[in-house]
Structure 1
Amino acid sequence: MRILIIQDETISGNILQKIELEVASEIDTLKDLIEKRVRYEVEMYNQKVTEFFNGLVQPTESERTLNGYKMKKNKAIDPEQQVYKALEGFQKNGFFVIVNDRQVETLDEQIWIGNGATASFVKLTQLVGG
């Protein structure tokens, strides 16, 4: 297994969160990487089911806070629904992904994610009143 370092960043480069994700293959698509990342986050949350979920996309029945997404009900999150929302978010420019210092443009693009690889997810925030 290889370890991929995933970082959530602001547009100005501030690191919000860092995840170490085990990956089996050295080359994959961005779609597969997003799916693996989201499934990992949901699995970690569902093992504990706490008040806050800190992941790539906002779950249904939650509200955005400074500490992550506050769950309205402490219940398990559906990984399939989260994966769908994440892939849709990428396609609608809700975030972009930089792998090994190169922006990945499409979900089907192949990327190298071997040992030492990094992936930065940069969330784009909507302007108020825009």
Structure 2
Amino acid sequence: MGTVTFVDETTTGGRTAGPRLPVTEERLTLRELIRRRVAHEADGEAAFARAVEAFGRNGFLVLVGDRQVEELDDTVTVGPETEVVFLRLVPLVGG
């Protein structure tokens, strides 16, 4: 069994530790990791749909180790201590 630690970052350098969740699987899709995080922090399928939509419009990037996970169905390998960074992208003013 592994543990996923979620971290929220912004392009301005802010970093906030999120939840730590136990994971029994060795491999999960990014979609499933997002689903589990949303289920831990919010209720319902609507919150999950909003998170997936935000990812699809580049509202945030996801980094696992030194690798950017680019597709919701990409597989993530979960080790004993895996850090998953949600990097929120801040739009330029006026753009």
Same fold (TM over 0.5): yes
Give me the whole-angstrom Cα distance separating, in 2, the residues matched to 1:18 and 1:35.
14
Aligned to 1:38: 38
- Write the deviation string for residues 6-43 of structure 1: whole angstroms up to 9, x where unpaired: 1001124431233211222110000000111111111x
Residue in structure 2 matching 1:104, options 64, 69, 73: 69
Q: Secondary structure at the match of 2:94?
A: coil
1:90 and 2:64 equivalent? no
Structure with greater contact order relative to length (CA < 8 Å, sep ≥ 6): 2
1:114 and 2:79 equivalent? yes
Q: Which runs of 5+ in 1 are unaligned?
A: 43-77
Identity within the alignment, %: 41
Q: Secondary structure at the match of 2:37?
A: helix
Give me the whole-angstrom Cα distance separating, in 2, the residues matched to 1:38 and 1:27.
18
Q: Secondary structure at the match of 1:117?
A: strand
TM-score by length of 2: 0.90
Query: For the aligned residues, what is the CA RMSD?
Result: 1.4
Q: Secondary structure at the match of 1:97?
A: strand
Give 4+ residue runs of structure 1 displaced > 3 Å after superposition: none
Please identify the structure whose Cα radius of gyration is greater. Answer: 1
Aligned to 2:18: 18
**Higher alpha-carbon deviation: 104-113 or 10-19:** 10-19
Larger relative strand fraction: 2
TM-score by length of 1: 0.67
CA 1:115/1:13 → structure 2, altered by over 3 Å: closer, same or farther? farther
Q: How many residues align?
A: 95
